[in-house]
Amino acid sequence: MHTRVTTPKKRDLSHAMRILADAQASRMSALDEHDGKALLRELGIHTATGIRVGVTTSLDRAVQSLRPPFALKALSSRALHKSDIGAVALNIEDIQALAVERDRMRDRLAGLDIELTGFLVEEMVQQGVEIVIGGMRDPRFGPLIMCGLGGIFTEVLEDVKFAICPFGPDDARAMLEGLKGYRLLKGLRGKPPVDIEAIVHALIALGGEEGIFTTTVSIAEFDINPLIADETGIVAVDARFILEQGPDDHR
Amino acid sequence: MTIARTNFQHLFNPRSIAVAGASAKAVAQGNRFIRGLRDFGYKGAIYPLHPSASEIEGLKAYRSLSDVPEQIDYAYLTVPASQVLGVLAQAEGRLRFAQIMASPDHNAGGAWAAALKDAAKDGNFRILGPNCMGTHSPRGGMTFIDGAIPEVGSVGIVCQSGGLGMDILRRGQSLGLRFSGLVTLGNSIDVSPVDLLDFYLDDDATRVVGMYVEDIKDGQGFFKRLVRNAGRKPVVLLVGGITHQGSRAAQSHTGALAGNARAWEALARQTGVILTSTLDKFLDALQVCCWLNPRPLDTQPTIMFFGNGGGTSVLAADEAARAGFSLAAIGDDAHDALVKLKLPPGSSLGNPIDMPASVLKEESGRIARRVLEIVRCMSSPHAIVAHLNLSVIYGYRHIPGFLPNLMDSLINADKRGEGDPHTVVVARSDGRPEVEAWKREVRAGANSAGVPVFSEIPEAVEALRNFCTYEMFLGRTIKSASAN
């Protein structure tokens, strides 16, 4: 039972807005994953702990604050389907292996026109229930936020719900309760329920009255896929923000 | 969109009507409209407009709107598209609403619509249509539909199709629905479905709003108006083209999943509107919204079936389960009380309660009242579906007063209270004329007592399901209001 009586305090979005403005100013069609996750953190949505590294930077010092095993991802200012082009490597055991993998990935991607902006090295995220959150602009109703269960639940069963922005916490909960796989969130077979309120907060930060997707027009559409939810909260593992092209940008 | 809110009272209560498209020599659409107004009891002034005739339908005809001696509340234009601008150019601020039936020529549609909008702006009037059929407003004695009943009702309709609007009115009337208004809007180039939703939501005569939409125009405005309504007045939607309102080319996975009915489904969940998929379901939802008093729900609703037919009862229980209802339990007390009635053999006293016609006929049809009283008081389901297989009941027509007594028992009009279970009646017929006549009798009796009637059980269950979804929305809204 949620009897929250306080309204959440207004978040300062000025840094988030700067990330978007900078990307638009440099004519990027999408935020790279590093910037996308920085944006999410500004919204109070946790992400995997990670560091941006250059294409040739020495890794020893750069990633020493991270705990292995690592995930390595190519960064691009274009919306990439990373796994399709071999731009992701997971469960890398140590820094030596990471360096080898980074060089290999760089060489593999060299021939592709993907506007490589570096690499992202992250700690691996613990297992939990995979969810997805996304946003798009509907020609009739304006901004819509989507939420669903990840993996095959989204890919095959399309077990997702949409909400028209702006919406409130009750709408966000009703959206989750409407999912066929809702019981996975409530804890199946002895597993504890995931932190549903953390998902609700994320949905409100994106599509609520003050949500960034509700109040700004620079994000055309986005996928946060997946987020890992467990009883302690949610962590965004991947994020793609596709930007609206500026009015003077008719290439 | 005009800045000042349009006063639609002049549309629904026009003191003066101009008609362009009536003939002095033939019976054109405009003539039929004038005759229909008279039949319907319109009391205001009617001004036929014609370039040459001096008299039409016994009324003085005028060359143009500028010749008419008073302000025109409503102009009904059935002239061809090419003549519409000519008629409206003479409006000179003397007209409030113009309803335009003509459809634009395919090649010049955009330019024509733009010219119409300019004319409306210059002449300071609002346009309904084009490509529509008219406005039905019993409170103003105005209709465009042959066979419309003049009684003022409580169902307010906005319809973006003229033909479907006539279906809604005529078939709704047969179901016992009476209308507070029905406006066909066609292409809605000026007055939009949202404008009329706004009117109906504030209109005291309107208890439920029904909308057929193909192009909602201002989706965010629609959404926000419904959010503001917060379910206070039920709204039923029938959306045309919902399966191919695909999303534009999307770069995101989310965009690719967003097509089809997703946004409409979200709208229904967030605002409590009832989304239906066929004309029949739309009318059935209007029935329950019109007659049942909503009781906010916070748990899965229970249902009770009562009627004749064993297999029918079993199928009814299946249908209810599929729709998410649980069957109301008949507790020991209720069971004991039912046993004490000493019913003749043949009844099954669980839920569904199956009482064959041979039992229903007891006490000339009054036995059902005592059974249902026990159910209402001791089992208190959220809803009772009373179903009658009239084909079988008709076999007992030799018993005087059987059907009226049975109906009285089911409807229990004199004793119904606020917190009572919703009662709906299913009148099942085999199509024989004599049984159909009984069905009409059942419907008339039930409707006059404010009880919805359906032809088959699945239809009743679906209508109740829709209504309960609305009641769940109200329950959520109330809970959230008290938590804050």
The CATH number assigned to the domain holding A165 equals 3.30.470.20
Residue A9 lies in a domain: no
Residue A195 lies in a domain: yes
Whichever domain contains A119, its CATH number is 3.30.1490.20
Nearest chain B CA: its distance from A5 CA (Å): 5
Residue A130 touches partner B, C-beta closer than 8 Å = no
pLDDT tens per residue across span B1-19:
445 678 999 999 999 999 9
Measured between CA atoms, the residue of chain B closest to residue A147 is B254
* Domains (range + CATH), chain B: 9-128 (3.40.50.720), 135-246+258-291 (3.40.50.261), 302-476 (3.40.50.261)
Contact residues on chain A for B255, CB-CB shorter than 8 A: 134, 136, 221
Q: Poorest-confidence range of A29-43, B178-192, B243-257?
A: B243-257
Of the pLDDT bands very low, low, confident and very high (cuts 50, 70, 90), residue A251 is very low
How high is the ipTM of this complex? 0.90
Nearest chain A CA: its distance from B407 CA (Å): 39
The answer to whether residue B324 scores a pLDDT higher than 80 is yes
B326: Cβ contacts below 8 Å, ≥ 6 apart: B300, B301, B302, B303, B320
Task: Specify the DSSP element, H or E, that contains B445.
Answer: helix B433-448
Residues A66-73 have a mean pLDDT of 94
Mean pLDDT taken over chain B: 93
Contact residues on chain B for A79, CB-CB shorter than 8 A: 251-252
Nearest-angstrom CA–CA distance, B232 and B234 = 6
Residue A2 lies in a domain: no
Q: How many percent of chain A have pLDDT more than 70?
A: 94
The answer to whether residue B439 scores a pLDDT higher than 70 is yes
The answer to whether residue A32 scores a pLDDT higher than 60 is yes
Q: Are A161 and A203 in a shared domain?
A: yes
This prediction has a pTM of 0.93
Contact residues on chain A for B267, CB-CB shorter than 8 A: 141, 164
Q: Count structural domains, chain A.
A: 2
Q: Are A237 and A132 in a shared domain?
A: yes
pLDDT tens per residue across span A125-170:
989 999 999 999 998 899 999 999 987 777 778 899 999 999 999 9
Q: Are A73 and A150 in a shared domain?
A: no
Burial classification of residue B409, based on how many CB atoms lie within 10 Å of its CB (0-12 exposed, 13-18 middle, 19 or more buried): buried
- DSSP assignment of B2-71: -SSPP-THHHHS-SEEEEES--SSS--HHHHHHHHHHHHT--SEEEEE-SS-SEETTEE-BSSGGGSSS-
The answer to whether residue A231 scores a pLDDT higher than 50 is yes
Give the residue from A123, A151, A179 where a domain finishes.
A123
Give the residue from A123, A155, A173 where a domain finishes.
A123
Give the residue from A103, A123, A143 where a domain finishes.
A123
Q: How much of chain B is helix, strand and coil, in % rounded to 5?
A: 45, 20, 35
The answer to whether residue A250 scores a pLDDT higher than 50 is no
B363: Cβ contacts below 8 Å, ≥ 6 apart: B405
The per-residue pLDDT for A156 is 78
Q: Are A173 and A93 in a shared domain?
A: no
Cross-chain Cβ contact A138/B219 below 8 Å: yes
The per-residue pLDDT for A5 is 42
Q: Which amino acid is at B95?
A: L
The answer to whether residue A1 scores a pLDDT higher than 50 is no
For B447-466, letters b (16+ CB in 10 Å) and e give bebebbbbbbbbbbbbbbbb
Structure tokens at A247: 């009015």
Residue A174 lies in a domain: yes
Residue A171 lies in a domain: yes
Contact residues on chain B for A157, CB-CB shorter than 8 A: none
Are B261 and B276 in contact, with CB atoms under 8 Å apart? no
Residue A229 lies in a domain: yes
Q: Are A147 and A237 in a shared domain?
A: yes
The answer to whether residue A7 scores a pLDDT higher than 60 is no
pLDDT tens per residue across span B97-130:
999 999 987 777 789 999 999 999 999 999 999 9
Mean pLDDT taken over chain A: 89
Contact residues on chain B for A139, CB-CB shorter than 8 A: 247-248
Residues B143-155 have a mean pLDDT of 96
Task: Give the residue numbers spanning the domain of A136.
Answer: 127-243
- Closest CB to B255: pick one of A5, A132, A221: A221
The per-residue pLDDT for B145 is 96
Residue A148 lies in a domain: yes
The per-residue pLDDT for B413 is 64
Q: Are A110 and A203 in a shared domain?
A: no
Residue A27 touches partner B, C-beta closer than 8 Å = no
Nearest chain B CA: its distance from A134 CA (Å): 5
Of the pLDDT bands very low, low, confident and very high (cuts 50, 70, 90), residue B383 is very high
Nearest-angstrom CA–CA distance, B375 and B362 = 18
Nearest-angstrom CA–CA distance, B172 and B22 = 29
The per-residue pLDDT for B244 is 72
Residue B478 touches partner A, C-beta closer than 8 Å = no
Residues B207-222 have a mean pLDDT of 95
Residue A248 lies in a domain: no
pLDDT tens per residue across span B166-207:
999 999 999 999 999 999 999 999 999 999 999 999 999 999
A218: Cβ contacts below 8 Å, ≥ 6 apart: A20, A21, A24, A243, A244
Q: How many percent of chain B have pLDDT more than 70?
A: 96
